[in-house]
Amino acid sequence: MAGALTERDFVAKLERAGFGAVEVLEREPMSVDDCALYPLFDDELLGLMRRLIPPEMQAEVGVAIVVRARR
């Protein structure tokens, strides 16, 4: 997840590459517990996230988005 961008940066990079009509059409929040469902999040990493991310922010550490753009 360290490689993920904020939505604003994601859209900006698409536009900088030349894409237009960029639309984010769905947003599904991901909590630390949701991240635990994915194979790249091992116990060590999850422990780190739970220790380092403030509790009030753990409910939405990421957002699964669906994006459309046109060349």
Partner 1 sequence: MSTAVDLDVALLKSEIRKTYASVADEPDREFIFPTGRGWAEDLRYPPELRDVPDAAAESFAGVANPWELGRLAPGERVLDLGSGAGTDSLVAALMVGESGRVTGIDMTPEMLVKARTAAAELGASNVEFVRAEAERLPSPDESFDVVISNGVIDLIPDKDAVFAELFRVLVPGGRMQIADVTIQNPVSEEGRRNIDLWTG
Contacts with partner 1 by CB under 8 A lie at: 1-7, 9-10, 13-14, 16-19, 25-26, 28, 30, 35-42, 44-46, 48-49, 57, 60-71
Minimum CB separation from partner 1 for residue 55, in Å?
14
Nearest in space to 29 (alpha carbons), one of 57, 64, 56? 64
CA dist 32 and 46 (Å) reads: 7
Centroid of chain to Cα 65: 8
**Tokens 């949701």, residue located:** 34
Minimum CB separation from partner 1 for residue 7, in Å?
4
Nearer to partner 1, 40 or 55 (CB): 40
